[in-house]
Amino acid sequence: MSQQLPDPRRVAVASLGGTITMTSDRSDGRGVVPSLSAADLLSSVPGIAHVEVESTTLATVPGASLELTDLLGVLRWARDAVDAGADGVVVVQGTDTIEESAYLLDLYWDRSAPLVVTGAMRAAQAPGADGPANLSASVVTAASAGARDRGVLVVLADQVHAAARVRKTRSSGPDVFRSPSFGPLGYVDEGGVTFGGPPSRPAPLTGDLPTGPLLVPLLETFLGDDGRLLRVVDDAGCDGVVLAGFGVGHLSRGLADVVEEVATRRPVVVATRTGAGTTYTSTYGFPGSESDLIGRGAVLAGWLDPRKARILLGCLLGAGSDRSTVADEFRRRGARGAGA
Ligand code: ASP
């Protein structure tokens, strides 16, 4: 008796551009620019058993030039693909902005199917180009049942990262994406993906992505920061501001005074500038400490790094959220045990 094979998995791939799509017509291979389509990229990847892949090219731009409207388009395309039967979707883009775009998509991704974001550090014609391997690992992840209910995942160098945690930690080299506080969620090996634990993520935001333009500056504090720069930003007008503070969320006494004033007009979020770890809430008590800043009206970002905090604040303000909603969402998404 012939055995019935299960239906093949279906994965939809969309490209926005980035180094993975970049080529050069110069003999020295320099001066690369985005040029390849999603179909071109897939032609460099060997077929993956039992996975049917379809492709579409949404944009052909470097990561630095991606706009909110591109991400709105991605979200629409990804939801349509899943609603039409795809088991998972892959978005290919420039690595320069993956840590921001992936988190923004994650905040709104309201399907069980995985949305995987990938790219490459080496251009398509470079020796050792990492694009084909990253794309292949991403398709494997998107097709995997174990990747469901994990929101948006970032897959490069055979590692699977949570969009809320991943950072580009080095400017060049093939293996630079890390989740510094908790490590990757899983690994791609031998054509499959293994996760270290069960899915856990806060519920997505309801409503649509903000269409902007929102002004949410990210300012990093520095030795000798007396708050003058924050005052300039406040005077210029903005919707809210994120400060990348020292250590567990500390600022100078002078800057703390300005925060107190600015926080009466717009939300001020304080994250850590250290690159990993959380802000505290109640350990230190000096002027400019985390507990003092909370008392002065600032919101502490918890485990969200400054860039993720800026994305979250922008999305909340774009949806017209009030002060208490902003504080609640930062508590929910930045807290211990918030999942990824
Ligand atoms: N500058 C490139 C980009 O973001 C870097 C990359 O894709 O790796 O488009």
Preceding omega of 174 cis (within 30 degrees of 0): no
**What is the Cα–Cα distance from 330 to 34, expressed in whole angstroms?**
36
Ligand 1 centroid vs 160 CA: distance in angstroms?
19
Ligand 1 centroid vs 120 CA: distance in angstroms?
7
**What is the Cα–Cα distance from 330 to 315, expressed in whole angstroms?**
12
What does the angle CA 81 – CA 87 – CA 89 come to, to the nearest 5 degrees?
A: 55
**What is the Cα–Cα distance from 238 to 313, expressed in whole angstroms?**
12
pLDDT in tens, 117-171: 999 999 999 999 999 999 999 999 999 999 999 999 999 999 999 999 999 999 9
What residue ranges do the domains of the chain occupy?
9-195, 218-333
Residues with CB under 6 A from ligand 1: 18-19, 62-64, 94-96, 119, 121
pLDDT of residue 15: 98
pLDDT of residue 7: 76
pLDDT of residue 209: 81
Return the CATH number of the domain spanning residue range 9-195.
3.40.50.1170
For a mutational test of ligand 1's pocket, the pick from 95, 122, 170, i.e. the residue with the most ligand atoms closer than 8 A to its C-beta, is: 95
Q: Catalytic positions, please?
A: 19
Number of residues assigned to the chain: 340
pLDDT of residue 4: 66
Ligand 1 centroid vs 121 CA: distance in angstroms?
7
Radius of gyration of the chain (CA): 21
pLDDT of residue 333: 97
pLDDT of residue 138: 98
Mean pLDDT by 10 residues, the chain (340 residues): 71 98 94 97 89 97 96 97 98 98 97 98 97 97 98 98 98 96 96 96 89 87 98 96 98 98 98 98 98 98 98 94 95 78
Q: In this structure, which residue's CA is closest to atom 3 in ligand 1?
A: 94
Preceding omega of 217 cis (within 30 degrees of 0): no
* Residue that has been written with the tokens 């980035």 in this structure: 18
Shortest-distance atom of ligand 1 to CA 97: 4
pLDDT of residue 303: 97
Same fold: 9-195 with 218-333 = yes
Closest CA to 272 of 312, 231, 305: 305
Please give the structure tokens belonging to residue 29. 């291979």
pLDDT of residue 340: 57
> How crowded is the C-beta side of 239, counted as CA atoms within 13 Å?
20
CA distances from 193 to 6, 148, 222, 249 (A): 19, 12, 42, 36
Q: Could you tell me the fold of the domain covering 218-333?
A: Rossmann fold (3.40.50)
Residues whose CB is less than 8 angstroms from the CB of residue 260 and which lie 6 or more positions away in sequence, other chains included: 296, 297
Q: What DSSP character marks residue 3?
A: P
Strand pairing of 159-162 and 299-300? unpaired
